[in-house]
Each structure stands twice: as structure tokens, then as C-alpha cells.
Amino acid sequence: MLKRRNFLATTLAAGAAGAMPAFAHKLEPYVIPEEYMPVEVKLRTKLEPGELHVDPNTFRLYWTLPDNRAIRYTVGVGKDDLYHAGEFYVGAKREWPSWTPTPEMIKRDPAAYEQFADGVPGGINNPLGSMALYLFTANKRDSYLRIHGTSQPRTIGRAVSNGCARLVNDQATELYHMVPLGTRVVLNPKNRKLENA
């Protein structure tokens, strides 16, 4: 479990990936609020162990454990109508993944995304951060939704993304190593709140 509260991104971490101007940001220390740190909780909602559940109402992600317990993380979720509730499974996992905006993203905001139509290599300025879990549908198709890291920790606890759930990089790395391929993922609807003690 992560104990560190100070997440400092440095330009040295970019390595050979280089900076991507549209995603480059002032790299400075950011202290994660204590209430955003991972914590083990007792759930009042009955959930099977070994699953991921996202509650967009409280910006929480739960990695469920035996005895109706879970590790609770704080996440950023899809903004406005870009959050897509449903059931998925982890169909792939990537370390320092590359990223390509979907055609829908480019159509919705060409000024922001068209320049990246050929993709962005993995690295500190990549929108998917350090690690990513790729969510697939029941018929084995990539949903293009991800649970991923971010080097912009100030976006955690808000509705900011194009539909994915994001964690700070260190927490995404921790989750990546715990969650196996094939794990069930539930993106709960905005009108259903998970209850935890």
C-alpha cells in the first residue's frame, strides 16, 4: 500500500520519450490530499472479491477483497456525457503505454486531438501515464476505455476525462501489479452510489 504523499514529476522521468507540447505542463511538487490516498475499507454493498468497481458519484475506484473489504482509490472520471457505465473485463495491460485519440475525440475537438492522430509514444507526458488497464467488452472487443495513470495529479477527484478512469501514476502502478488479466470491471452508473463504511 502506498504511504508516500508527495508526488514529484521531473523532466528526467521523461527519458527518451521527449516532451509533447500539447500535454506538457509545469512539473512541480503536488501533495495528494490525505483523503485521496488509498485506504482499505469495509463495504456495505456486497461485492465479489477480485473485481474493480468505479463509483463516478464519489470519484472512487474499489479493488475488492475477501470478507467484503476493498482498497479504495480516488480517480478522475469521464466528464459530462463521456462517462460510460457498464461491465467490462481487463483484456490487456501496458506499462508506459502509447496513446492515440479515438476518431470520436478528434471529431469532438479537432484542435486538441487531430495533431495526435498518429499516436503519442509512452512517457511522462503521455495522457495514459505510467500504466494502463485496457477494458474489453464481453464479446472480446476493446472498448477504448482505460483505467490508467496520469502525471497531472490535480485532475484526480474530478470529472475530467474522455471516459477513462485515471489515478496518479504511483497508485496506477500499484493497481496494475495487483489486478490480473480477465478481471471483471464495473463502471457503475452515475445514479447508483456504492456504499462503504
The catalytic residue positions are 148, 164
What burial class does residue 3 get, using C-beta atoms within 10 Å of its C-beta: 0-12 exposed, 13-18 middle, 19+ buried? Answer: exposed
Q: Nearest 5 degrees, angle CA 56-CA 163-CA 180?
A: 80
The three three-digit cell numbers of residue 49, written as one number: 472479491
Query: Within the chain, how many helices (H) and strands (E) appear?
Result: 3, 13
The three three-digit cell numbers of residue 111, written as one number: 484542435
CA atoms of 117 and 190, how far apart (whole Å): 30
- Which of 35, 14, 16 lies closest to 24, judged by CA? 14
What burial class does residue 31 get, using C-beta atoms within 10 Å of its C-beta: 0-12 exposed, 13-18 middle, 19+ buried? Answer: exposed
